[in-house]
Structure 1
Amino acid sequence: MKNHPSNLAEWLAHLETMHPKAIDMGLDRVRQVKQAMTVEFTCPVIIVGGTNGKGSTCAMLESILLRAGYRVGLYTSPHLLHFNERMRINGESASDAELLAAFDKLEAVRGDVSLSYFEFTTLAAIQLFSDAKLDAVIFEVGLGGRLDAVNVLDADVAIVTSIDIDHTEYLGDTREKIGFEKAGIFRSGKAAICGDPVPPASLIEHAEKIGADLWLFNRDFNYSGDKQQWNFSGRGHRRNSLAYPSLRGANQLLNASSVLAALEVLRLRLPVGAQEVRTGLALVDLPGRFQVLPGQPTIVLDVAHNPHAAAALAQNLGNMGFHPYTYAVFGAMQDKDIDGVIAHLKGQVDHWCVTDLPLPRAATAADIRDKLLHAYADLPPAVETERSIRTFATPADAFANALSRAGENDRITVFGSFLTVAGVMEFRHSEHH
């Protein structure tokens, strides 16, 4: 391409159409381009994979390392409102100018190799962070691990947060198959941390086969705690009387423990003091992960989009105290186990506002309504004021309807996809301006 797009919006539109397949598993093309790039990391590289909990784990690592005064790069996906959220340097989203510079450098060496949107942006992040001379870089895996573009990097520490059934068409339909894909980010002789309390045999076997230094929860590290504080113990290192992470939820101590195990591995290269760990955990901020907005009615945003995440959301909602009615704004991708998500949440939700989403692979609101009717078939019929299901064209419409009906002591929970949460965030943003 001789004349590059001149702004970020044009670039992203171009990337959407550059490669014939949106998701094209395999590393050959990415490796080929990376070899042509002049990039290297002398600082530790941390890669985080897993079914759920990747975003929280990355955010905690970033927060603690920033408190300790290190220069940190963080690459995550997808974004909620702005593409720039995917690449952060020192806790700030990259500017358009920084992104364009990285895109241009990459375009200059790409040659005629076709890259998907995610592959191109992953390589651009590697370029950006390499140029920025950082003390630590954290990369979140997009999908799976073994064949994900992020896996062109060799991790000094690789973390797999959890292994559950999701993305079956790419990763297989059992925890054993998925565990093998996730374990693809492990490297021989390097730390491989698994935060899932019941790791599949395939993950352990792969780690042992390649000679990775495997850290298993309950064997190499664990946590204990009471209502006020918690403690971490690793192989040779304890951290006591820690504050709970500001991210709420059932699995956050598992995620935080994996983070502290990673910091134990890196303690000689990136020493971090007790106070920095406490403050880092207390100040983590991650939009859309059981995010409770201030005001009435209570609004909860959660990007939960598979049964494992829905179970955690249901548990968190159950711990919140009494609300007369709960409204759900729910939209999801067609390839998700929507019945499994509904099964976990039907006991918590009275009124469903289900929505179409702006992607061809989204389930329609009508599809979801049918699944809900099926899920509630075993219950006696209820009057409209007690239980309802309505369909909407957009998350904003669904949310506006929930808002118009909810009393000030009720709550609205928005979940099912990044797109559902993003649609509501955009709507609230436009209402406030």
Structure 2
Amino acid sequence: MSATLNDWLARLERQHPVAIDMGLERVAVVAARLGLTQGPIAQRVVTVAGTNGKGSTVAMLERLARAHGLSTASYTSPHLLRYNERLCFDGIAADDATLIAGFERVESARLAGDPVSLTYFEAGTLAALVAIAEVRPHLAILEVGLGGRLDAVNVIDSDIAVITTIAQDHADFLGTDLEVIGFEKAGILRQGRPAVLGSRALPVSVSQRIGALEVPAYWLGRDFDHEDVDGDQWRWRGQGAEGLRYQLDSLPDPGLPLDNAAVALQVLGLCGVVPQHAQSLQAMSTVALAGRLQWLGNWCFDVAHNPHAAHYVAARLAQRSPAPRRRIGLLGVLQDKDAEALIEALAPVIDVWLPVGLAGPRGRSGEALAESMIGRGGEVLATASSPAAGVDWLASRLAPDEEVLVCGSFLTVAGALEALTALAGDEV
């Protein structure tokens, strides 16, 4: 009996002694055996690194590219509900057969010659790259998983590198020094190849790396930018590789950060595509990213799990009009994340809290989270053992004029989304 996708994923979780083992030595050996480093996997490759905004940048660039007639492949992580979400072709998640075929090829290459041990993420990344190389689309967009320099995605030389923001996250692996974090993120840059910088303030280490590699750099606020115009519309200004100046007016709010939208348009211009208004308007009107300010009725889901992202979520919720009578924060945070900073960032838009526990070795209980909320002057409605339990408790008590923000982790959002969807199905 052939192995299913779930069989493969379970196998990959067991085959390496640690879940995260940063470094390119192992993955580079297998990539070479697969032929991934011998030629381009797509006509153009874009890698996207940063602390926040990677997923929204990938989503908007992918949608813009398709609206302008390009074929696309995108690779992102982690997934929200299904592993297949990580690899998409022309906006459609890869099927099980495609992923399994990739895992089989990676496994054969891993065992060819001296066996090489790969982590779950490394094997998944190589399998996705194999699948992309077989299709060779116009544009491949690869989200860097952790850091940059030593991340498995960085085994591929990109044509354009993007760095969105740099803030503290994954401190166990990247530390808390922003200059060090910036150096790691800048590890995706390549000699003489363009970089798009999507933050108005980046560590000096990024600029130093740009200078050392003689990278043509396009900075938000200097070489491209966005500005609000009337109502919910905005204007973008940017430039192409030959210095041609572009401007698009009256673009709709995509529901995602405009800094990242401006980055996506700038990257598109550097790909040799002149951004057109009609196509860009269509893309910005239809782009969607699960778990990023995603609304289901009066429930809002966002995977923000660090203070920088939480401040953005709070700012967007503060702009909602009319404001709800009460907003409830269903929050679940892993043990290695700064829960108190998250609570502080969200507190201005949360009236009462419902802390939920997250399972696993990195998990944090709802009771422990409640202590942090109460310690910062917050009111706690109840605690729950899991996101699903929190949804079950709250759904029957939620008034029509109340809102819920589900936030704090991919695990929190995924568990709550599944539970709320199941409840809605039961009511049909």
Normalised TM-score (structure 2): 0.93
Aligned-residue offset at 1:15: 0.5
Q: Deviations over 1:7-36 (max 9, x none)?
A: 101000000111011010100001010000
Indicate if the aligned counterparts of 2:103 and 2:127 stay in contact, CA closer than 8 A.
Answer: yes
In 2, the alpha carbon distance for the partners of 1:213 and 1:246 equals 28
Equivalent position to 1:256, from 243, 250, 261: 261
5+ residue gaps, structure 1? 378-386
SS at match of 1:361: coil
In 2, the alpha carbon distance for the partners of 1:83 and 1:5 equals 19
In 1, the alpha carbon distance for the partners of 2:89 and 2:33 equals 24
Q: Deviations over 1:118-156 (max 9, x none)?
A: 000000010000011311100001111111100001111
In 2, the alpha carbon distance for the partners of 1:114 and 1:34 equals 13
Percent identity of equivalent pairs: 37
Indicate if the aligned counterparts of 1:302 and 1:421 stay in contact, CA closer than 8 A.
Answer: yes
Aligned-residue offset at 1:164: 0.7
> What is the one-letter code of the residue matched to 1:138?
I
Q: Deviations over 1:158-200 (max 9, x none)?
A: 1111111111111120221111111111111111111111111
In 2, the alpha carbon distance for the partners of 1:29 and 1:245 equals 43
Normalised TM-score (structure 1): 0.92
Indicate if the aligned counterparts of 1:188 and 1:213 stay in contact, CA closer than 8 A.
Answer: no
Indicate if the aligned counterparts of 1:350 and 1:388 stay in contact, CA closer than 8 A.
Answer: no
Indicate if the aligned counterparts of 2:357 and 2:364 stay in contact, CA closer than 8 A.
Answer: yes
Residue in 2 aligned with 1:351? Answer: 352
Aligned-residue offset at 1:50: 0.7
> What is the one-letter code of the residue matched to 1:431?
L
**1:181 and 2:184 aligned:** yes
Residue in 2 aligned with 1:364? Answer: 365
Indicate if the aligned counterparts of 2:304 and 2:407 stay in contact, CA closer than 8 A.
Answer: yes
Indicate if the aligned counterparts of 2:189 and 2:210 stay in contact, CA closer than 8 A.
Answer: yes
Q: Deviations over 1:47-66 (max 9, x none)?
A: 11111110000000111111
Distance 1:184 1:410, change over 3 A: same
SS at match of 2:249: strand
Any residues of structure 2 matched to 1:15-414 within 5 Å, and which? 15-39=12-36, 40=39, 41-111=41-111, 112-228=115-231, 229-235=233-239, 236-248=244-256, 252-267=257-272, 270-294=273-297, 298-321=298-321, 322-376=323-377, 387-414=379-406
Aligned-residue offset at 1:242: 3.9
In 2, the alpha carbon distance for the partners of 1:360 and 1:221 equals 43
Q: Deviations over 1:292-336 (max 9, x none)?
A: 223xxx110000100001111111111112111111111011111
Question: Which segment drifts farther, 206-215 or 154-163?
Answer: 206-215
In 1, the alpha carbon distance for the partners of 2:245 and 2:235 equals 11
Quote the RMSD (CA, aligned, Å): 1.5
SS at match of 1:202: helix
> What is the one-letter code of the residue matched to 1:221?
F
Aligned length: 413
SS at match of 1:81: coil
In 1, the alpha carbon distance for the partners of 2:64 and 2:93 equals 17
Indicate if the aligned counterparts of 2:73 and 2:137 stay in contact, CA closer than 8 A.
Answer: yes
Q: Deviations over 1:348-401 (max 9, x none)?
A: 222211111122102221211111111118xxxxxxxxx434211110111222
Indicate if the aligned counterparts of 1:245 and 1:256 stay in contact, CA closer than 8 A.
Answer: no
Aligned-residue offset at 1:103: 1.0
Indicate if the aligned counterparts of 2:57 and 2:261 stay in contact, CA closer than 8 A.
Answer: yes
In 2, the alpha carbon distance for the partners of 1:123 and 1:57 equals 22
In 2, the alpha carbon distance for the partners of 1:65 and 1:429 equals 31
Residue in 1 aligned with 2:409? Answer: 417
SS at match of 1:334: coil
Indicate if the aligned counterparts of 1:327 and 1:406 stay in contact, CA closer than 8 A.
Answer: no
Runs ≥4 in structure 1, deviation > 6 angstroms?
Answer: none
